[in-house]
C-alpha cells in the first residue's frame, strides 16, 4: 500500500486516494464479462501495439519486459515470445492480476504500486504502461523509477489519459454548479498537460523522446447517458472512477438538469447526441547508452536543407 503520508493532508502533492483506486480496480476486475467494459483500453492497446510497439519490436528482442499497471494484461496480448522472452506484470490490484488474460509469453505477476517499483536498477530491457500512470500522485517520481529499472539502451513505451479528457463533461458540470450552487468541485480527475510531459520524461533521464497525442470520441444521447456509462457501465468496470481526495460524492438533481442543458447547448451534435472526448498521450523514451546514435555537432553539416529542393531535378536528370 502507499505510504502513510499519502493522505488528504498531503495537499496538491497527493491528489489521489490510492487505497480507493486499489478498491475500485479490484471491484472492476471481478465484474462479469469485464472485456465488454474495456473498449477504451482495447483502442489504446491496439494503438500501442500496432503504431508504437511494432516500431520498436520489429528489429530487436527483449529478454525481460515490465508492464506497469498491467490490469488484466492488455499489452501482453500484443506481444509475442519472439520479441519478449519474459514479462513481469505489476498492478496495484490483486484481483486484476488474478483475472489476467493468458499470454504465450512466460509471465510473472507482482502486486505493487506503480509509484514504488520493487525492482533493482538496470533490470528490464523494455517497460510498457497503458492507461495507468494518470492515477499516480507523483508522476515525476514514477518516471524516475521506470528509468531506474531500465537497462542502458532500454526503452519505455506508454500511454496515459491527457488534460482534455472529458472536457465537455467537466465544463458543463462546473458551469451548472456555479449557476445553481455558487461554486463547484471536481467531478473529473485532474490530468497532466501535454506541454509538461516531455519535460518530465527528460528530467527523469530519458532521451530520444517521442510524445504524441490522439483523441477518442464517443457519442451519447445526452449527459445522463454519459454519466451512467462513465460511472456505472464502463469507467467503473475499467477501474477508472474519480479517486481525487476532494471529489464531491453527490450532485443535486437541479444541477444535473442544468448541466444536461448546458452540455447539449455547447457541445451537442446535429443529430441530438453529445460527444465525450478522451485525450490519449503516447510516449517513447530511451535510457542512454554509449552505443546510441548521437546528434552531430552544431555547424558540422555539409549539406544545406536548401539543397534538398534540387533532389527532384537530379532524379529527373537520371543522376544519383
Residue 20: is its pLDDT beyond 90? no
39: confidence class by pLDDT, cuts 50, 70, 90: low
d(CA 72, CA 91): 9
Which pLDDT value is given to residue 305? 55
Which pLDDT value is given to residue 63? 94
Q: Angle at the Cα of 226 (from 221 to 227), degrees rounded to 5?
A: 140
Residue 21: is its pLDDT beyond 80? no
d(CA 275, CA 268): 7
Residue that wins the pLDDT comparison between 299 and 56: 299
d(CA 247, CA 41): 24
75: confidence class by pLDDT, cuts 50, 70, 90: confident
Write down the mean pLDDT value for the chain. Answer: 77
Which pLDDT value is given to residue 195? 82
Each residue of 146-171: pLDDT tens digit?
999 999 999 999 998 888 888 998 89
Q: What is the mean pLDDT of residues 185-204?
A: 78
User: With contact defined as beta carbons under 8 Å apart, do 177 and 184 qualify?
Assistant: yes
All domains of the chain, ordered by start, with CATH? 18-167+190-221+276-289 (3.40.50.150)
d(CA 37, CA 42): 9
Which pLDDT value is given to residue 38? 64
Which pLDDT value is given to residue 31? 66
Amino acid at each position: 500500500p502507499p505510504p502513510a503520508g499519502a493522505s488528504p493532508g498531503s495537499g496538491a502533492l497527493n491528489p489521489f486516494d490510492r487505497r480507493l483506486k486499489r478498491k475500485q480496480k479490484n471491484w472492476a476486475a471481478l465484474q462479469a464479462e469485464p472485456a465488454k467494459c474495456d473498449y477504451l483500453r482495447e483502442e489504446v492497446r491496439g494503438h500501442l501495439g500496432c503504431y508504437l510497439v511494432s516500431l520498436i519490436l520489429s528489429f530487436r528482442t527483449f529478454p525481460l519486459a515490465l508492464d506497469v499497471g498491467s490490469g488484466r494484461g492488455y499489452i501482453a496480448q500484443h506481444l509475442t515470445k519472439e520479441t519478449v522472452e519474459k514479462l513481469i506484470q505489476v498492478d496495484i490490484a490483486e484481483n486484476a492480476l488474478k483475472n489476467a488474460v493468458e499470454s504465450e509469453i512466460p509471465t510473472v505477476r507482482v502486486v505493487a504500486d506503480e509509484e514504488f517499483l520493487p525492482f533493482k536498477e538496470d533490470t528490464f530491457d523494455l517497460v510498457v504502461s497503458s492507461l495507468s500512470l494518470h492515477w499516480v500522485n507523483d508522476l515525476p517520481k514514477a518516471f524516475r523509477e521506470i528509468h531506474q529499472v531500465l537497462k542502458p539502451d532500454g526503452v519505455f513505451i506508454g500511454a496515459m489519459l491527457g488534460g482534455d479528457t472529458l472536457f465537455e463533461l467537466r465544463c458543463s458540470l462546473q458551469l451548472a454548479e456555479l449557476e445553481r450552487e455558487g461554486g463547484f468541485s471536481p467531478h473529473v480527475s485532474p490530468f497532466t498537460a501535454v506541454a509538461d510531459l516531455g519535460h518530465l520524461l527528460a528530467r527523469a533521464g530519458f532521451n530520444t523522446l517521442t510524445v504524441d497525442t490522439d483523441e477518442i470520441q464517443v457519442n451519447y444521447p445526452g449527459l445522463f447517458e454519459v454519466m451512467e456509462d462513465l460511472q456505472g457501465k464502463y469507467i467503473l468496470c475499467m477501474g477508472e472512477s474519480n479517486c481525487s481526495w476532494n471529489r464531491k460524492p453527490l450532485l443535486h438533481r437541479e444541477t444535473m438538469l442544468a448541466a444536461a442543458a448546458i452540455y447539449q447547448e455547447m457541445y451537442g451534435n446535429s443529430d441530438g447526441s453529445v460527444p465525450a472526448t478522451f485525450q490519449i498521450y503516447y510516449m517513447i523514451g530511451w535510457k542512454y547508452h554509449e552505443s546510441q546514435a548521437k546528434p552531430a555537432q552544431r555547424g558540422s553539416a555539409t549539406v544545406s536543407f536548401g539543397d534538398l529542393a534540387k533532389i527532384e531535378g537530379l532524379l529527373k536528370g537520371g543522376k544519383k
